[in-house]
């Protein structure tokens, strides 16, 4: 395992490669040090680009070589017309970006559940990252069975009365349809007192999605920071994902500086890939 400093250096080189020509980037690398294929697929949670237009978001994804996104309603509203959906999906397709899910979508009424599943069907994605209240889980399960669309319940940390950590969501869905699972936000999980690596191993059959971030403390007072600069052990997380043979997307959700996220995204992607691709 390389040192944290080496991983941060790799991240810095990755950012430089997004800013200069491909020829210059290639000149500073040795081909035998680059894995043929990343062990895990890296994506981005659409909320990362909450303060940017769709075109700006796509540009930043291209510069950091991120090819998967969970679309937030900021860029594709729930009430979008077929023409709007086609236009947005067309832009992602032209940029070589896969829209693999929608969300996070909050569901506090049966109507909200209906709207979320109808939206996912119209967009044509197989999964919703969402937060249905516990009282609506029976109805949500009915929609899952009727549409064959998976639901990945997102945890939001100690401030969240419903699902602070993944364990809180797991208790509600463990005996339900196998298409009801978790989107583990590892930063919020850490702040809520859960170890992300242990959570991945414990709930392995139902880990459908991951939101990646680092935090400065494993407590309510922890703040979002670049991956590799906080307290989360990404080597242990990567080992856990390797052990369960995780096939989903690992989506960066960068929240430290949302008015200028590109450097932090690039550093986070570089660090995470550096860890993942060196785990034995």
Render pLDDT for 104-123 as a digit per residue (tens, 0 to 9): 999 999 999 999 999 999 99
- pLDDT of amino acid 191: 98
Is pLDDT above 80 for 217? yes
User: Which residues share a beta bridge with 130?
Assistant: 105, 153
The vertex-266 CA angle with 264 and 272, nearest 5°, equals 100
Dist CA 250 CA 272 (whole Å): 10
Is pLDDT above 80 for 15? no
| Arithmetic mean of pLDDT, 191-214 | 98
- What length is written for the chain? 280
Among 9-18, 104-113, 204-213, name the one with the lowest average pLDDT.
9-18
User: Mind listing the pLDDT tens digit for each residue in 118-153?
Assistant: 999 999 999 999 999 999 999 999 999 999 999 999
Is pLDDT above 60 for 103? yes
Decide: helix, strand or coil at residue 272.
helix
Dist CA 196 CA 245 (whole Å): 16
Which residue did the predictor score with more confidence, 178 or 25? 178
| CA 114 from centroid of its chain's CA atoms | 24
- pLDDT of amino acid 38: 80
| CA 218 from centroid of its chain's CA atoms | 20
What DSSP string describes 206-257?
Answer: GEEEEEE-EES-SSTT--EE-TTSSS--HHHHHHHHHHHT--SEEEE---S-
The angle that helices 110-123 and 82-94 make with each other, rounded to 10 degrees, is 50
- pLDDT of amino acid 6: 54
Is pLDDT above 90 for 7? no
Is pLDDT above 70 for 16? no
**Dihedral pair phi/psi, residue 150, rounded to 5°:** -75, 150
- pLDDT of amino acid 279: 83
Residue 135's contacts (CB-CB under 8 Å, 6 or more residues apart) are none
Q: Give residue for tokens 């997102």.
A: 154
| Arithmetic mean of pLDDT, 205-233 | 98
Dist CA 29 CA 16 (whole Å): 12
Is pLDDT above 50 for 255? yes
Tell me the pLDDT band of 8, cut-offs 50, 70 and 90: low
Which residue did the predictor score with more confidence, 277 or 35? 277
| Arithmetic mean of pLDDT, 34-48 | 84
């Amino acid at each position: 395992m390389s040192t944290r400093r080496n991983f941060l250096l790799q991240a810095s080189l990755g950012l430089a490669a997004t800013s200069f020509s491909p020829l210059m980037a290639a000149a500073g690398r040795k081909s035998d040090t680059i894995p043929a294929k990343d062990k895990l697929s890296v994506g981005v949670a659409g909320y990362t680009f909450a303060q940017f237009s769709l075109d700006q978001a796509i540009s930043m994804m291209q510069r950091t070589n991120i090819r998967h996104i969970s679309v937030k309603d900021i860029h594709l509203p729930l009430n979008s017309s077929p023409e709007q959906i086609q236009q947005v999906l067309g832009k992602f397709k032209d940029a070589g970006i896969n829209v693999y899910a929608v969300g996070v979508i909050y569901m506090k009424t049966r109507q909200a559940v209906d709207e979320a599943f109808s939206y996912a069907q119209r967009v044509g994605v197989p999964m919703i990252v969402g937060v249905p209240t516990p009282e609506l889980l029976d109805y949500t399960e009915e929609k899952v069975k009727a549409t064959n669309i998976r639901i990945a319940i997102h945890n939001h940390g100690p401030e969240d009365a419903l699902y602070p950590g993944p364990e809180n969501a797991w208790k509600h869905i463990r005996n339900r349809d196998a298409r009801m699972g978790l989107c583990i936000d590892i930063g919020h999980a850490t702040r809520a007192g859960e170890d992300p690596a242990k959570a991945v191993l414990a709930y392995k059959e139902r880990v459908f999605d991951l939101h990646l971030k680092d935090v400065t403390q494993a407590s309510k007072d922890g703040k979002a920071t670049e991956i590799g600069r906080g307290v989360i052990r990404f080597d242990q997380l990567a080992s856990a994902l390797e052990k369960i043979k995780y096939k989903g997307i690992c989506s960066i959700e960068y929240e430290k500086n949302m008015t200028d996220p590109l450097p932090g995204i690039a550093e986070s992607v570089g660090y995470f890939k550096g860890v993942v691709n060196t785990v034995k």
